[in-house]
Amino acid sequence: MAASDRLSQLKAFDDTKSGVKGLVDAGVAAVPPIFHHPPDPHHIAAGTITTVPVVDLQDDDKQGLVAQIRAAAETVGFFQVVNHGVPGDLLAETLASVRRFNEQPAEARRPYFTRDPARRVRYNSFQSPAANWRDTLFLEAPEEEVPPPCRAAVPEYARRVRGLGKRLLGLLSEALGLHAGYLPDYCCLGDDVSHGGPVMGCHYYPPCPEQSLTLGTTRHSDPCFLTVLLQDGVGGLQVLLDGEPGGGVRRYWADVPPVAGALVINVGDLLQLVSNDRFKSVEHRVVAPGRGGGGARVSVACFFRTTGDAASTRAYGPIAGVNPPPRYRNVTVKEFMGYYRDKGLDGTSALARCRLPIPSSRLPMI
C-alpha cells in the first residue's frame, strides 16, 4: 500500500473513534489493508510445550521459590504465578469490566478516544507499523477518572497487583543475590500511583474474519521492569523462544496457555538492562481470535516502570557487580520510552540504543 493511501485509511479509521470493535459491529467481512501484517518467518510449535513454568507463590521452600523464578527469568523470561494473593472473584470482575467498557455502544467509548500520550485515560488502537486487531484502554489515572464500567474493579485490582509486583521484584532481587528490597527501591516502586506504576493496558481483541492476515498484538518486548498480565481463557499469547526441544528450529513461537486463576509475569527491557542481561526480556505477540472460537479475547497488562518526575531525572544502568562488565549505558525511563515510541513495534529492541560497544580486547579472533 502507498504511504499516502495508508495514512488516509488510518485517518478515516481514527475518525470513527470506535476502534476495531466498531469495524466488527459494522459487519466487516474482510480485514482492511491497514491491518495486514507480513508473514512471520518463525515456526509455531506444535502441541503443548511446557516452556513457561507455573510457580506457586505459597511454596514454603523460599530458596526453591527464588530458584524457580531465577531459572525462568534467565531463560524463558516468562512464568505464571498461582496463589498470588489476588482474589479470583476480583480477577473475573476485572476482565468482565474491561469487556463491558468495550461492548457498550460506540457513543460511550468515543469520549475516551485519543492519541495524546499526555492523557491519563486513553482509548485507541495500535497502528505501528501495521495496525493491530485490538482496542486498548490505557489507564494512568486516579480512580475518579477511570471510566464508569471499570471503576468498581480495576482500581482495586491495580492496588492488589502493586503489592504483588513489589513482592515479585523482591524475589527477583534475591535471584540476583541482592537483598529483597533492592529492586523495589531501585525501580522507584513507591506507595502511590505517581511513583512506579503500574500503568495499565486493558486490551480487547474482537473476533477476526481473517486471522492469517493480521495480529492482535505485533511481536515486541515490554519497555518496563516487569509486566503482570491477567488473561481470560481464549488464548492467543505466544512467546518467541530459542531452540525447539527435539528439533532443528532455531527460534519458534510457543503458546502461553491460560491457567485458571494464574497471572502471567514477564521480564521487561529495563529489568534486562539493570540486570546486565542476566534476566531476559523476551519478544511475544498475540494471535487475533477467530470468529469460530471463544469470542473476543480480554486481557489486562500492568506495566511496572518509573513514572512521575523520577522518569526524567533518575538514570538506570547495570547494577554494580551483577554479571560484569557493564553492557549498557545509563538511561532515564523517559528517554527509553522515547526510543520505544519512535521506532514502534518494528521487530527490533529499544535496548540496542543503550548497549555499549564491545571493547576490541573482547572481540573474537578472526
- Note the pLDDT of residue 193: 45
pLDDT higher at 128 or 155: 155
The answer on pLDDT for 364 being more than 60 is: no
Task: For residue 249, name the pLDDT band (cuts at 50, 70, 90).
Answer: low
> Which runs of E-coded beta strand occur in 277-328?
284-286, 297-304, 315-316
CA distance 206 to 132: 11
303-348 pLDDT, tens digit per residue, is 999 988 888 999 999 999 999 999 999 999 999 999 998 888 887 8
Residues 270, 305: contact at Cβ < 8 Å?
Answer: yes
What whole-number percentage of the chain has pLDDT above 70? Answer: 92
pTM attached to this predicted model? 0.93
Confidence of residue 362 (pLDDT cuts 50, 70, 90): low
Report which secondary-structure segment, H or E, holds 96. Answer: helix 88-103
Predicted local confidence at residue 247, as pLDDT: 59
Reply yes or no on whether the pLDDT at 194 is more than 50: no
Q: Which three cell numbers stand for residue 2?
A: 502507498
- The span from the CA of 287 to the CA of 255, in Å, is 10
Its CATH class, for the domain covering 51-360, is mainly beta
Please state whether the peptide bond connecting residue 87 to the residue before it is cis, i.e. omega within 30 degrees of 0: no
**Residue 270, CA atoms < 13 Å, CB-side half-sphere:** 30
Model confidence at 248, pLDDT cuts 50, 70, 90, reads low
pLDDT in tens, 119-144: 999 999 987 788 999 999 999 988 99
Taking 3-state DSSP, the helix, strand and coil percentages for the chain, each rounded to the nearest 5, stand at: 35, 20, 45
How far is 317 from 303, CA to CA, in rounded Å? 19
Name residue 87's amino acid: P
H or E stretch covering 335: helix 333-343
Report, as an integer, the average pLDDT of 23-45.
91
The predicted model gives 235-244 an average pLDDT of: 87
pLDDT in tens, 35-92: 999 988 888 776 555 689 999 999 889 999 999 999 999 999 999 999 999 999 999 9
Mean pLDDT of 12-23: 96
Spatial distance between the Cα atoms of 364 and 345, rounded to a whole number of angstroms: 32
Average pLDDT, stretch 148-165?
96
DSSP assignment letter at 209: S
Give residue limits of the domains in the chain: 51-360
**What is the Cα–Cα distance from 160 to 72, expressed in whole angstroms?**
23
Rounded Cα–Cα distance for residues 326 and 258 (Å): 37
Residues in CB range of 229: below 8 A, 6 or more apart: 237, 263, 264, 265, 266, 299, 300, 301, 302
Q: How confident is the model at residue 260 (pLDDT cuts 50, 70, 90)?
A: very high
Closest CA to 162 of 2, 307, 327: 307
**pLDDT tens-digit series, residues 82-121:** 999 999 999 999 999 999 999 999 999 999 999 998 899 9
